[in-house]
Chain A
């Protein structure tokens, strides 16, 4: 199999470096994205379709990052994009919202089990920050309990003390527990009784660098009861999992009901919109918080969300993605075993996390992922991966072929040995 090179990506990066901080910043960039070694990776895409993107050098990749989640139906989904094209004929960002806003609100309330109302914004971080403000407005309390290693965006309160631009005051109201440790949460609630406005958590734990952790048996039921008892708003950050695990919301998937639920990524198949859904008792609090933005009620992304949700419901996208995810990850594990390695897969199949066993410093995993990328399968090293509904059996077969060859390549000279020599 030929391996890729990226001269045009490098050229563009050199241009970007002159005018854009970091060249490509954030999670799409080489630093945050952990592109190691960098020469295995493209840096810019030229187009995308279905499960693929093509880089600026014309190399095709099966994209298992799915734009870090938004691509759930396949890039350029014809139904979603047609709804957008249709809406654009009528207008997009106008002084008044379009009737589509109401239509989407009704559709969300009908689709998401816990939802009595829906509110729309742009990014996942808008939804998590708004949820925290709603909880504070409703309870008159300040503090928020978060899980260690959880990600809720980039607003100062979501960041870490001691990081650039973050003051101790920004995070002074944050308390942390381990995901899944009910007893610790109960203790913390008792210690801080009357202080905690909100417990915010992802439905299952999907940190970077570490194995994903599913909720222990009975965990969410107990947490739900505890929050109700203590008057704490239970906010589920479903930005990453939302719709991929269950169109009814990931709380429904795990058999409980959140007070607030944040959606973004898969909501509109890549069109820019996020949402907070809530229970009736938080409706007034939500209305009382001043929260809005220039593009939040733009009609085109709203049209996209309506088309995307309708299609996800129709095809039962969560079931489709889970099935494909299981097939793929079973094959990847088998490929690793054939070469004497032990790929470890955790999390939900539609958005699994993987690493190699006996590889505490990740050198083997980074080498294997790089060999996959060079052959047209885009994985990242330390973030969970994503499945989209456009992924075909042939794509999975091709991926497994690449994975096999990549394992064969790294088996030739186990990079862990070089690492041990220093």
Chain B
């Protein structure tokens, strides 16, 4: 069971956010980020707002509303999900003259992200692609995890069982994130945080990618040391149940 509000939250707060990491791995995204600055605001009924600032060499994601040059309105979660599925278009509220930017550079960016998040055996033959896929998937999956934990019915049950404190998700030679629980609500953050009480460490970017692509089960990863766990383990157990729901929302 995939619920549309959770899907929209995942799309808005996890997938869109992953555009932040795109310039680091993709030349076309770098070129767009180097261009003129635009701030696109997404307003999604029943979900919330977020802004994407593109330009001056970076892409930055800001949860919540604020100043923008383009504002897109989605009356309900399903409308945002349709845009992500390529079956619907947003309604511009502001920046009507900038439709060209949306159809051009912005669409290019989302296409490039899809390219990295939807691997094929041919693409995975390339080492650089594998690494980019792993890093961007890690980012998407663990931001999605918090949205699912806060919104999906099964996710909420499992998030509610997590004790206050964080879990550090670290990749040897790669990025790190923290999932912090407080009062049964989850928040994903970049890097380590002082709240962390447990750790989930991948032996490398390649192993993280294998697990996230479903090529390696978490049980096998643990048994072979490709994924090592430590610290306050009950929270990891509960979080892993939510991690198990992520593919439903990202496939």
For B218, the chain A residues whose CB sits under 8 A away are: 31
CA distance A39 to B226 in the complex (A): 11
For A360, the chain B residues whose CB sits under 8 A away are: 197, 232
The answer to whether B224 touches A14 (Cβ under 8 A) is yes
In the assembled complex, B69 has its CB within 8 A of some CB on chain A: no
For A43, the chain B residues whose CB sits under 8 A away are: 223
- Among candidates A10, A31, A363, residue contacting B222 with C-beta atoms closer than 8 Å: A31
Given the known A-B contacts A25-B219, A31-B222, are A363 and B231 also in contact in the complex, defined by CB atoms under 8 Å? yes
From DSSP, what is the main secondary structure of chain B's interface residues? Answer: mixed
In the assembled complex, B250 has its CB within 8 A of some CB on chain A: no
For B224, the chain A residues whose CB sits under 8 A away are: 10, 13-14, 17, 23, 38
A residues 181-214 with Cβ under 8 Å of B?
A: 209
Q: How far is the CB of B72 from chain A (nearest CB, A)?
A: 33
CA distance A190 to B196 in the complex (A): 42
Interface size, chain B (Cβ < 8 Å): 32
For B192, the chain A residues whose CB sits under 8 A away are: 422
Given the known A-B contacts A162-B154, A162-B157, A422-B168, are A30 and B217 also in contact in the complex, defined by CB atoms under 8 Å? no
For A164, the chain B residues whose CB sits under 8 A away are: 241, 244
In the assembled complex, A91 has its CB within 8 A of some CB on chain B: no
The answer to whether B219 touches A31 (Cβ under 8 A) is yes
In the assembled complex, B104 has its CB within 8 A of some CB on chain A: no
In the assembled complex, A177 has its CB within 8 A of some CB on chain B: no
For A21, the chain B residues whose CB sits under 8 A away are: 217, 219
- Among candidates A23, A37, A160, A209, residue contacting B220 with C-beta atoms closer than 8 Å: A23
- Most B CB atoms within 10 A — which of A13, A34, A381? A34
Q: How far is the CB of B138 from chain A (nearest CB, A)?
A: 18
In the assembled complex, A109 has its CB within 8 A of some CB on chain B: no
- Among candidates B157, B217, B228, residue contacting A36 with C-beta atoms closer than 8 Å: B228
In the assembled complex, B233 has its CB within 8 A of some CB on chain A: yes
CA distance A31 to B197 in the complex (A): 18
CA distance A266 to B219 in the complex (A): 29
For B161, the chain A residues whose CB sits under 8 A away are: 160
B228-239 interface bits toward A, Cβ cutoff 8 Å, 1 = contact, 0 = none: 111111100000
Q: How far is the CB of A18 from chain B (nearest CB, A)?
A: 10
In the assembled complex, B198 has its CB within 8 A of some CB on chain A: yes
CA distance A363 to B234 in the complex (A): 13
The answer to whether A38 touches B196 (Cβ under 8 A) is no
The answer to whether B217 touches A22 (Cβ under 8 A) is yes
The answer to whether B194 touches A422 (Cβ under 8 A) is yes
The answer to whether A422 touches B225 (Cβ under 8 A) is no
CA distance A14 to B226 in the complex (A): 12
For A412, the chain B residues whose CB sits under 8 A away are: none
A residues 348-401 with Cβ under 8 Å of B?
A: 360-363, 366, 381-382
For A38, the chain B residues whose CB sits under 8 A away are: 222-225, 228
The answer to whether A17 touches B220 (Cβ under 8 A) is yes
In the assembled complex, A163 has its CB within 8 A of some CB on chain B: yes
Chain A, Cβ-Cβ closest to B218 = A31
- Most B CB atoms within 10 A — which of A21, A35, A39, A162? A162
A residues 5-38 with Cβ under 8 Å of B?
A: 10, 13-14, 17, 21-25, 29-31, 34-38
For B157, the chain A residues whose CB sits under 8 A away are: 160-162
Q: How far is the CB of A181 from chain B (nearest CB, A)?
A: 19
The answer to whether B223 touches A24 (Cβ under 8 A) is yes
The answer to whether B232 touches A39 (Cβ under 8 A) is no
The answer to whether B231 touches A30 (Cβ under 8 A) is no
Minimum-distance CB pairs A-B, first 5: A162-B157, A22-B219, A162-B154, A422-B192, A361-B232
A to B CB contacts below 8 Å, 17 in the list: A21-B217, A22-B217, A23-B219, A23-B223, A34-B229, A34-B233, A36-B230, A38-B224, A43-B223, A160-B157, A162-B158, A163-B158, A361-B198, A362-B233, A382-B233, A422-B192, A422-B193
Known: A38-B228, A161-B154, A360-B197. 4 other contacts (CB 8 A): A22-B217, A36-B230, A38-B225, A361-B165
Q: Which A residues form the contact surface with B (CB < 8 A)?
A: 10, 13-14, 17, 21-25, 29-31, 34-39, 43, 160-164, 209, 360-363, 366, 381-382, 419, 422
Q: Which B residues form the contact surface with A (CB < 8 A)?
A: 153-158, 161, 165, 168, 192-194, 196-198, 217-220, 222-225, 228-234, 241, 244
